[in-house]
Amino acid sequence: MKTLIWAAFALLALIWTGLAAASAGLAEWLIGAVASGEATQVAADAATTISQWPVPTWAALWIDPAWIQGLQLMWLDVVQWLSQVLPSIDGLGGWVSALVWIGWGIGLITLLVVCGGLHWLAGRVSGPRPA
Indicate whether 100 belongs to any domain: yes
Indicate whether 75 belongs to any domain: yes
User: Quick check: 8 pLDDT over 90?
Assistant: yes
* pLDDT at residue 70 tops 90: no
Asked if the structure places residue 32 within a domain, the reply is no
Of the CA atoms within 13 Å of residue 101, those in its CB half-sphere come to: 9
* Domain, as residue range, for 9: 2-26+38-126
pTM of the model: 0.59
DSSP of 44-83, one letter per residue? HHHHHHHHTSPPPHHHHHHS-HHHHHHHHHHHHHHHHHHH
- Residue 105 falls within a domain, yes or no? yes
pLDDT at 111: 96
Determine, yes or no, domain membership for 109.
yes
**Is 14 domain-assigned?**
yes
Answer left, alpha or beta for residue 127, where phi above 0 means left and psi between -120 and 50 means alpha. left
Number of domains in the chain: 1
Integer Cα distance of 82 and 103 in angstroms: 27
Q: Is residue 131 part of a domain?
A: no
Query: Is 71 a member of any domain?
Result: yes
Alpha-carbon distances of 121 from 47, 115, 125, rounded to whole Å = 55, 10, 6
